[in-house]
């Protein structure tokens, strides 16, 4: 009778998954809500902003949702897994920057294209890459399965291509010099560069443009038509273009929130112009940049800089009223005909810089003096027009030095520059004697239509002038001599110690936008899966081991024992990831069952086979006389196993079972392949957001290690207790 | 009173083979209630196999075993139920090492529903006193001497109130000075009319305690008789030979 119970139990464990599939299958609420899968490590198309799915794909779909009234929900999965998920109906459709290709059209239907893509090269900044020929034959790092990977094959030999799972690894390859360059979609490349100023996009490839579309299973016609029609409509009315422009305006940067969740942002048009606007330490520095940054902080806006040519600043302002021009721009009456200007934050005027004891006290004496100027500068033009005798130098500092050493009698330069020179040359002083030059005000340029923006920014500017902030910024640049290398007033990077920088990284990876939640949620899921799988594995494993052992002892139960042996052999003979994919996409193909539960079942089945072998060896380690003694008392085989053999076997195999638990917890890290947000996937998502490849990995490594150590401690304690018991 | 009613075991033409090796070659034996039977014989002659067949730890190859009138080899018999009515004591004690002495004794009666916990506990205490180990109730087997372990193994078997007790060389694994305490216990059982089959090498003991002695040789019962006949007047040359070696 007990044998029957055991046999029933065994069968139950084998068929439970099937049964659950049947009862939990086709949910009924699926009519109003559709599930879209996306891989959120593909900025700017798909990424997490905080815990919100963000990016061009996501926002176009949000717009489609609003248009059609369909409730679209997003779910993350690995890029490689989404195609399978769509064809197996694990989700309703996929949106993760899928390039429309003939090959993919064999298995899925594509919507109309919503975005045009060009392949570009990303490599270290400042390299001499001007044409496709410059990257031919080099070592390239690409993401598996992307068009970039395909195009790389035409550029270099297969052995020179490193295939990576995600972009974080690729960026690391580039920074560490493992690869010379990456071939990638243009916007994605720009997103990477936004997070890594040491990299640069080189737009040199001659690849054909490509198009992105959403993917649907072939037989999902009704939904396909609804979504596709809506997409066409949104393309025609400009919504799609607006969304893409929004991300482009934000430089495809990773810290761009959803189009539908826009935050106030100052968009700045600027160009290289020391000391007003330039890059230092990968940071926008200069007087203009810092004043605008101070304003953005004051009014709680984000700030974005867009580099263009100086002449294009005015052109763009005419068509783009949301921008502000800032690059040491003079406020002149001619310009005021087309633009409006903020209050001046600083003004300048040509002055004379002369030794303190100099006799140059009036403009009239300059005719007889030898004057230092800077080539091509305002001062050069002025001296030229007056016919003065000049020596031309390349920098203001050189001009001042010549005056100080007596080579020249005086120098002509802007007052701000002159002030800076006095820092190094206390023997010099400013003589404001040039009566025929104008005071020139610097200001920020606005489109005349941008009245609202103008008022907000100008009010803040006035406030910062009044409270001394702007004076502080100006004094900072003056003190540092207005050089190109002067870092931003707000850039405290250069003074930071290694630990400060590490802390900054830590803050960005884990504290900003509560990113640590990816790890805590991931850890919770990892633990859930591990515990459920462990319990299941122990039950299945013990039952299978008992069936096999008892069949060997009694010669009965040949069929169940054969089933168990096949199960053990198959599971131990195949990789756990393959089992997971088969169970999720094939066995549970038509089930809406929770992925965590499916993962637990998969890992439980996997673990069961290993536990079975361990338990079997444990059973064999118990002397035969124990079973005989138990049976001689009238106990059934099953009861003898349970009461006499297993308790002793478990003591013998506890270390081995502990090892199984330890390897199981680490194996669950592949659950990401079916879209489960476990610990490793959580770290991947953080890495996809911050493009910080290493720190999240180190942190989860520490977390895994900590769990394993705790587990080891518990097992040791249990062993001790069992060993002391008898 | 008809003789059959007095029969505890009736064994007919019992054989047992392991593969090609026929270990028991046709054993016939009737055991009456209260009878004490000793089995002696050279090593490897099938003594253990024989009593293991009686309690179905081995499945006989052919023949019949009637236990209390019922053929225990027929298909519809509940083997576990049969075993629960017999007690077996092993050479190596086979106490359950993860249970205390008392738990060893209580296990079967409680798990098989013969007694509830309280009854089993009282019975275990009674048996522990009877075997002279009332203070070892909570001791684990590893902390007990061989003789103590074997006495507890006997108590464990007795707890199920068996109708027959089978002993397979119960003292062979013991230090010589511990043999006595176990044999005394078995003698005590014999005096209380317990039906017993005892495989033993202790000839003095067999002579003293047995109603009948069987001499096994090469899978047969070579000779059987009262202790006086077997030890005082061995007829077969094999038995004479055997006795000359062991005595
Ligand atoms: N499970 C088994 N499989 C195969 N052969 C066995 C098995 N058990 C016993 N035998 C063989 O059966 C024969 C009789 O063994 P058994 O243990 O019954 O002898 P014994 O009379 O009890 O000897 P001893 O006095 O040494 O205990 C031996 O030859 C032994 O090898
Ligand atoms: Mg023997």
What's the pLDDT tens digit per position in B197-210?
Answer: 999 999 999 999 99
How far, CA to CA in Å, does A378 sit from each of A382, A383, A437, A440?
A: 6, 9, 11, 11
Higher pLDDT, B173 or A726: B173
Instruction: Decide whether any atom of ligand 1 lies within 6 Å of the B20 Cβ.
Output: no
Tell me what pLDDT residue A493 has. Answer: 66
Report the pLDDT averaged over residues A639-668.
Answer: 91
The three-state secondary structure class of A246 is: helix
Nearest CB partner across the interface for A726, out of B81, B98, B107: B98
Interface test with A, best of B48, B90, B93, B96 (most A CBs within 10 A): B96
Each residue of A193-243: pLDDT tens digit?
887 888 899 999 998 999 999 999 999 999 999 999 999 999 999 999 999
Q: What phi and psi values does residue A37 have, to the nearest 5 degrees?
A: -100, 145
- Interface confidence, given as ipTM, is 0.95
How far, CA to CA in Å, does A92 sit from each of A36, A114, A121, A621?
A: 6, 19, 34, 52
Burial of A55 by CB count in 10 Å (0-12 exposed, 13-18 middle, 19+ buried)? buried
Residue ranges in chain B modelled with pLDDT below 50? 1-3
Evaluate whether A355 touches A403 at the Cβ level (below 8 Å): yes
Using the predicted structure, report yes or no on whether residue A24 has a pLDDT greater than 60: no
The owner of tokens 């002579």 is B207
Tell me what pLDDT residue A643 has. Answer: 94
Using the predicted structure, report yes or no on whether residue A407 has a pLDDT greater than 60: yes
d(CA A380, CA B204): 134
Each residue of A163-207: pLDDT tens digit?
988 788 898 899 889 999 999 999 889 888 887 888 899 999 998
Report the pLDDT averaged over residues A344-361.
Answer: 93
Report the pLDDT averaged over residues A498-524.
Answer: 88
Tell me what pLDDT residue A485 has. Answer: 80
Tell me what pLDDT residue A494 has. Answer: 63
Q: Which residues contact A460 (CB under 8 A, 6 or more apart)?
A: A295, A298, A299
Tell me what pLDDT residue A309 has. Answer: 81
Instruction: Decide whether any atom of ligand 1 lies within 6 Å of the B48 Cβ.
Output: yes
Each residue of A439-459: pLDDT tens digit?
989 999 999 988 899 999 999
Using the predicted structure, report yes or no on whether residue A480 has a pLDDT greater than 80: yes
Tell me what pLDDT residue A680 has. Answer: 92
Using the predicted structure, report yes or no on whether residue A53 has a pLDDT greater than 70: yes
Among A123-127, A241-245, A461-465, A684-688, where is mean pLDDT lowest? A684-688
Give the percent of chain A with pLDDT over 90. 58
**Ligand 1 nearest atom to the CA of residue B45, by list position:** 21
pLDDT confidence band for A328 (50 / 70 / 90): confident
Burial of A256 by CB count in 10 Å (0-12 exposed, 13-18 middle, 19+ buried)? buried
Ligand of minimum distance to the alpha carbon of B168? 2
Kindly identify which residue of chain A lies nearest to residue B159, measuring between CA atoms.
Answer: A633
d(CA A701, CA A712): 16
User: Is the previous residue joined to A44 through a cis bond, with omega within 30 degrees of 0?
Assistant: yes
Chain B positions in Cβ-Cβ contact with residue A639 (cut-off 8 Å):
111
Tell me what pLDDT residue A243 has. Answer: 94
SS (H, E, C) chain B: CCHHHHEEEEEEEEEEEECCEEEEEEEEEEEECCCEEEEECCCCCCHHHHHHHHCCCCCCCEEEEEECCEECCCCCCCHHHHHHCEEEECCCCCCCCCCCHHHHHHHHHHHCCCCCHHHHHHHHHHHHHHCCCHHHCCCCHHHCCHHHHHHHHHHHHHHCCCCEEEEECCCCCCCHHHHHHHHHHHHHHHHCCCEEEEECCCHHHHHHHCCEEEEEECCEEEEEECHHHHHHCCCCHHHHHHHHHHC
How far, CA to CA in Å, does A398 sit from each of A393, A421, A478?
A: 6, 10, 16
Distance from CA of B191 to the nearest CA of A (A): 23
Q: Which one-letter DSSP state was computed for residue A362? A: S
Tell me what pLDDT residue A20 has. Answer: 42
A290, containing H or E segment: helix A287-299
Q: Which of B24, B39, B41, B46 to mutate to test the pocket of ligand 1 (most atoms within 8 A of CB)?
A: B46
CB contact under 8 A, B83 and A634: yes
With an 8 Å Cβ cutoff, the interface of chain B facing chain A consists of 55, 57, 80-81, 83-88, 90, 92, 94-99, 107-108, 111-112, 140-142, 153, 156-157, 160
Tell me what pLDDT residue B65 has. Answer: 95
Chain B positions in Cβ-Cβ contact with residue A726 (cut-off 8 Å):
97-99, 140-142
User: Which of B161-179 are b and which e, b meaning 16 or more Cβ less than 10 Å from the residue's Cβ?
Assistant: ebebbbbbbbbeebeeebb
Instruction: Decide whether any atom of ligand 1 lies within 6 Å of the B192 Cβ.
Output: no
Which of A84, A102, A112, A45 lies closest to A217 in space, CA to CA? A84
Report the pLDDT averaged over residues A308-334.
Answer: 87
Each residue of B8-41: pLDDT tens digit?
999 999 999 999 999 999 999 999 999 999 999 9
d(CA A592, CA A40): 22
pLDDT confidence band for A19 (50 / 70 / 90): very low
Each residue of A371-400: pLDDT tens digit?
999 887 788 989 999 999 999 998 888 999
Return the structure tokens found at A530.
């591990």
Report the pLDDT averaged over residues A400-404.
Answer: 93
Q: Atom 2 of ligand 1 has which residue's CA nearest to it?
A: B18
Q: Is the dihedral of CA A101, A107, A113, A119 positive or negative?
A: negative
Neighbours of A26 (CB within 10 A): 9
pLDDT confidence band for A114 (50 / 70 / 90): very high
A351 Ramachandran zone, left/alpha/beta (phi>0; psi -120 to 50):
beta
**Angle of the A167-175 helix axis to the A186-195 helix axis, nearest 10:** 60
Instruction: Decide whether any atom of ligand 1 lies within 6 Å of the B24 Cβ.
Output: no
Chain B positions in Cβ-Cβ contact with residue A623 (cut-off 8 Å):
94
Ligand 2 mean position, distance from CA B46 (Å): 7
Evaluate whether A640 touches A631 at the Cβ level (below 8 Å): yes
Tell me what pLDDT residue B3 has. Answer: 47
Mean confidence (pLDDT) of chain B: 93
Return the structure tokens found at B170.
């119960």
- β-strands B36-40, B195-199: how paired? parallel
Using the predicted structure, report yes or no on whether residue A100 has a pLDDT greater than 50: yes
Tell me what pLDDT residue B5 has. Answer: 67
Q: Is the dihedral of CA B29, B31, B32, B36 positive or negative?
A: positive
Tell me what pLDDT residue A8 has. Answer: 46
Give the percent of chain A with pLDDT over 70. 95
CB contact under 8 A, B85 and A634: yes
In angstroms, how far is CA A411 from the centroid of its own chain?
51
CB contact under 8 A, A633 and B157: yes
Tell me what pLDDT residue A580 has. Answer: 92
d(CA B247, CA B201): 10
Tell me what pLDDT residue A423 has. Answer: 82
- β-strands B7-18, A410-414: how paired? unpaired
Tell me what pLDDT residue A172 has. Answer: 86
Tell me what pLDDT residue A3 has. Answer: 47
Tell me what pLDDT residue A726 has. Answer: 76
Q: Which residues contact A535 (CB under 8 A, 6 or more apart)?
A: A604
């Amino acid at each position: 009778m007990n044998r029957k119970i055991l046999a029933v139990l065994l069968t139950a464990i084998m068929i439970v998954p099937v049964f659950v599939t049947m009862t939990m299958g086709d949910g009924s609420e699926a009519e109003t809500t559709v599930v879209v899968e996306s891989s959120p490590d593909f900025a700017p198309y798909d990424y997490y902003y905080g815990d919100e799915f963000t990016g061009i794909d996501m926002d176009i779909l949000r717009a489609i949702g609003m248009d059609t009234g369909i409730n679209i929900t997003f779910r993350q999965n690995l890029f490689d897994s989404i195609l399978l998920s769509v064809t197996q109906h694990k989700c309703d459709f996929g949106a993760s920057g899928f390039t429309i290709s003939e090959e993919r059209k064999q298995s899925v239907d594509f919507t109309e294209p919503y975005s045009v893509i060009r392949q570009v090269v990303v490599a270290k900044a400042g390299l001499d890459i001007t044409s496709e020929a410059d990257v031919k034959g080099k070592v390239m790092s690409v993401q598996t399965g992307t068009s970039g990977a395909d195009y790389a094959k035409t550029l270099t030999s297969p052995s020179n291509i490193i295939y990576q799972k995600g972009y974080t690894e690729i960026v690391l390859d580039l920074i560490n010099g493992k690869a010379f360059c990456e071939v990638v979609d243009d916007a994605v490349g720009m997103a990477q560069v936004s997070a890594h100023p040491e990299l640069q996009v080189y737009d040199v490839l001659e690849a054909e443009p490509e198009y992105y579309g959403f993917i649907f299973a072939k037989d999902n016609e009704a939904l396909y038509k609804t979504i596709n029609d809506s997409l066409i409509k949104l393309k025609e009315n400009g919504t799609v273009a607006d969304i893409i422009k929004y991300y482009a305006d934000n430089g495809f940067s990773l810290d761009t929130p959803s189009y539908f969740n826009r935050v106030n942002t100052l968009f700045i048009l600027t160009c290289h112009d020391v000391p007003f606007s330039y890059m230092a330490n990968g940071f926008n520095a200069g007087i203009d940049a810092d004043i605008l940054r101070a304003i953005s902080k004051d009014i709680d806006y984000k700030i974005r800089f867009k580099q263009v040519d100086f002449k294009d600043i005015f052109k763009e302002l005419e068509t783009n009223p949301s921008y502000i021009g800032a690059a040491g721009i003079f406020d002149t009456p001619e310009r005021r005909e087309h633009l409006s200007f903020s209050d001046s934050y600083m003004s300048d005027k040509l002055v004379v810089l002369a030794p303190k004891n100099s006799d140059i006290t009036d403009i009239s004496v300059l005719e007889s003096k030898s004057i230092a100027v800077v080539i091509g500068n305002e001062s050069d033009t002025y001296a030229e027009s007056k016919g003065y005798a000049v020596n031309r130098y390349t920098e203001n500092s050189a001009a001042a030095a010549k005056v100080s050493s007596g080579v020249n009698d005086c120098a002509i330069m802007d007052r701000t520059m002159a002030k800076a020179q006095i820092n190094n040359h206390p023997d010099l002083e400013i003589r404001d004697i040039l009566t025929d030059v104008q005071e020139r005000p610097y200001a920020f340029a606005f489109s005349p239509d941008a009245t609202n923006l103008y008022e907000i920014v100008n009010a803040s500017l006035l406030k910062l002038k009044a409270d001394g902030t702007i004076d502080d910024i100006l004094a900072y640049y003056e003190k540092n001599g207005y050089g190109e290398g002067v870092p931003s007033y707000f850039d405290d990077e250069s003074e930071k110690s290694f630990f400060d920088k590490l802390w900054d990284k830590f803050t960005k990876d884990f504290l900003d936008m509560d990113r640590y939640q990816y790890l805590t949620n991931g850890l919770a899921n990892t633990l859930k899966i591990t515990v459920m799988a462990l319990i299941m594995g122990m039950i299945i494993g013990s039952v299978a081991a008992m069936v096999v052992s008892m069949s060997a002892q009694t010669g009965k139960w040949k069929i169940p024992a054969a089933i168990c042996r096949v199960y053990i052999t198959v599971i131990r003979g195949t990789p756990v990831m393959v089992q997971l994919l088969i169970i999720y996409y094939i066995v549970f193909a038509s089930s809406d069952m929770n992925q965590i539960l499916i993962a637990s079942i998969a890992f439980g089945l996997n673990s069961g086979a290993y536990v079975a072998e361990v338990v079997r060896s444990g059973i064999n380690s118990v002397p035969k006389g124990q079973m005989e003694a138990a049976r001689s008392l009238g106990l059934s085989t099953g009861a003898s196993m349970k009461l006499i053999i297993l308790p002793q076997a478990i003591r013998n195999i506890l270390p081995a079972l502990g090892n199984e638990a330890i390897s199981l917890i680490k194996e669950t890290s592949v659950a990401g392949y079916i879209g489960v947000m476990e610990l490793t996937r959580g770290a991947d998502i953080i890495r996809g957001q911050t493009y910080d490849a290493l720190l999240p990995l180190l942190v989860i490594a520490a977390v895994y290690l900590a769990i394993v150590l705790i587990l080891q401690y518990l097992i040791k304690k249990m062993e001790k207790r069992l060993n002391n018991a008898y | 009173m008809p003789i059959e009613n007095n029969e505890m075991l009736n064994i007919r033409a019992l054989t047992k083979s392991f593969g090609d090796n026929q270990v028991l070659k046709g054993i016939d034996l009737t055991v009456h209630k209260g009878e004490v039977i000793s089995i002696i014989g050279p090593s490897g002659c099938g003594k253990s196999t024989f009593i293991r067949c009686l309690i179905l730890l081995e499945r006989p190859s052919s023949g019949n075993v009637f236990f209390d009138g019922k053929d225990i080899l027929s298909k519809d018999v509940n083997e576990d139920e049969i075993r629960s009515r017999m007690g077996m004591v092993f050479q190596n004690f086979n106490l359950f090492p993860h249970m205390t002495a008392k738990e060893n004794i209580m296990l079967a009666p409680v798990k098989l529903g013969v007694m509830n916990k309280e009854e089993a506990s009282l019975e275990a205490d009674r048996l522990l006193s009877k075997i002279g180990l009332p203070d070892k109730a909570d001791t684990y087997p590893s902390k007990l001497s061989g003789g103590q372990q074997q006495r507890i193994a006997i108590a464990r078997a007795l707890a199920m109130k068996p109708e027959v007790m089978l002993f397979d060389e119960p003292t062979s694994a013991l230090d010589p000075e511990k043999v006595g305490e176990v044999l005394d216990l078995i003698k005590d059982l014999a005096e209380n009319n317990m039906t017993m089959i005892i495989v033993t090498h202790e000839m003095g003991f067999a002579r003293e305690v047995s109603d009948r002695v069987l001499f096994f040789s090469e899978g047969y019962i070579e000779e059987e008789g009262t202790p006086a006949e077997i030890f005082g007047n061995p007829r077969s040359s094999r038995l004479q030979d055997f006795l000359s070696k062991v005595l």
